[in-house]
């Protein structure tokens, strides 16, 4: 399985565990650190840590394992580095403060609608 197939698993996992405001940004043409950023929010530090746990478990079943993880202890902003895919999980307030979507405004937003399983995602998706 290639990296291109990895982000849909991440989206499905996050969506099925009630992450909100899930976004996938294609950053391949503007940075060398990753090809895709997956961003999602949770309502509390505990939920953000749980999203990280579920994501790591479910991607692990597909053979994907993070090279690094940062921020787990505080649960405000957890980053999981899967090589060509970086996953950023935030508490809502922290995400609003850092506003990565604005910082990476030149990135292409990936249409993830086909990968969402919830009828609504809490916030705009």
Question: Could you read off the pLDDT of 67-124 as tens digits, one per residue?
Answer: 999 999 999 999 999 999 999 999 999 999 999 999 999 999 999 999 998 554 444 4
> Where do the DSSP E strands lie in the chain?
20-26, 36-42, 68-70, 77-81, 85-91, 108-109
State the pLDDT at residue 107: 96
C-alpha 6/C-alpha 18 separation (Å) is 19
Would the pLDDT of 125 be above 50?
no
Top CATH class, 3-103: alpha beta
Domain boundaries, the chain: 3-103
Would the pLDDT of 1 be above 60?
no
């Amino acid at each position: 399985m290639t990296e291109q197939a990895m982000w849909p698993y991440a989206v499905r996992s996050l969506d099925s565990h009630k992450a909100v405001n899930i976004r996938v940004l294609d950053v391949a043409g503007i940075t060398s650190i990753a090809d895709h950023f997956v961003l999602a929010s949770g309502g509390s530090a505990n939920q953000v840590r749980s999203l990280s746990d579920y994501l790591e478990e479910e991607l692990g079943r597909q053979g994907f394992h993070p090279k690094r993880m940062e921020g787990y202890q505080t649960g405000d902003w957890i980053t999981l580095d899967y090589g060509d895919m970086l996953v950023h999980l935030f508490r809502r307030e922290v995400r609003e403060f850092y506003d990565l979507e604005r910082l990476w405004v030149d990135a292409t937003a990936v249409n993830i609608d086909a990968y969402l399983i919830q009828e609504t995602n809490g916030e705009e998706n």
